[in-house]
Amino acid sequence: MKKLLLMMVALLICAGAYAQIETPVRWSYAAKKVNAKEAIVFLKATIQPGWHIYSLNVGDGGPIKTSFEFNKSKDYAPVGKTTEPSPMSKFEKSFNMNVTYFEKEVIFQQKISLKSASAASVTGKLTYMTCNDKKCLPPEDVDFTIPLGK
């Protein structure tokens, strides 16, 4: 009986801890081949109301900017820098500076040079930080795999 009671208490504690995890950003990915030697990958953040993520271009001393790291491959290589649409800008007291950010959703794009016709996927890691008007969550790293299709 004691074991059953302990298991129930442990389950309640785990369920309570799980309920506390906030995930206000969901990432999705797509790719479009431009021709046999070039593709564009799209990395989309869908952001819950009241939250925002930061631009690729945030000054020193500010929040963690969004960044993308593409794994080295013999099949492909990133061309240039990752691009973003025009961000919003505002003064944030917590950082004592103007910051650029996105709300609701944002699609980042990266041009890819295909070195091989057999390039099946682009892989890498993205890093971002999420805040609302009351708090910021710790920066998060997300591994991604983006199928290129045929």
Q: Which domain holds residue 136?
A: 24-147
Secondary structure of the chain: what % helix, strand, coil (to 5)?
Answer: 15, 50, 35
Q: For the purposes of burial, counting CB atoms within 10 Å of the CB of 92, is it exposed (0-12), middle (13-18) or buried (19 or more)? A: middle
Write the CATH number for 39: 2.60.40.1250
CA 54, CA 87: separation in Å to the nearest integer?
Answer: 9
Element of type H or E holding 96: none
Instruction: Look at phi and psi of residue 104 and say left if phi exceeds 0, alpha if psi is from -120 to 50, else beta.
Output: left
Q: Which amino acid is at 47?
A: I
* Residue 57, in any domain of the structure: yes
CA 131, CA 118: separation in Å to the nearest integer?
Answer: 40
Give the closest residue to 67 by CA, choosing from 77, 81, 79, 80.
Answer: 81
More confident residue, 18 or 23: 23
pLDDT at 8 over 60: no
* Residue 103, in any domain of the structure: yes
Q: What would the two tokens of residue 101 be? A: 């950010």
Lowest mean pLDDT across 5-9, 35-39, 111-115? 5-9
pLDDT number for residue 22:
82
* Residue 4, in any domain of the structure: no
pTM of the model: 0.83
* Residue 143, in any domain of the structure: yes
pLDDT at 19 over 50: no
* Residue 14, in any domain of the structure: no
Give per-residue pLDDT as tens, 96-149.
999 999 999 999 999 999 987 776 799 999 999 999 989 999 999 999 999 986
* Residue 6, in any domain of the structure: no
* Residue 79, in any domain of the structure: yes
Handedness of CA 53, 80, 109, 121 (dihedral sign): negative
Q: How many domains does the chain have?
A: 1
* Residue 40, in any domain of the structure: yes
Confidence class for position 44, pLDDT limits 50, 70, 90: very high
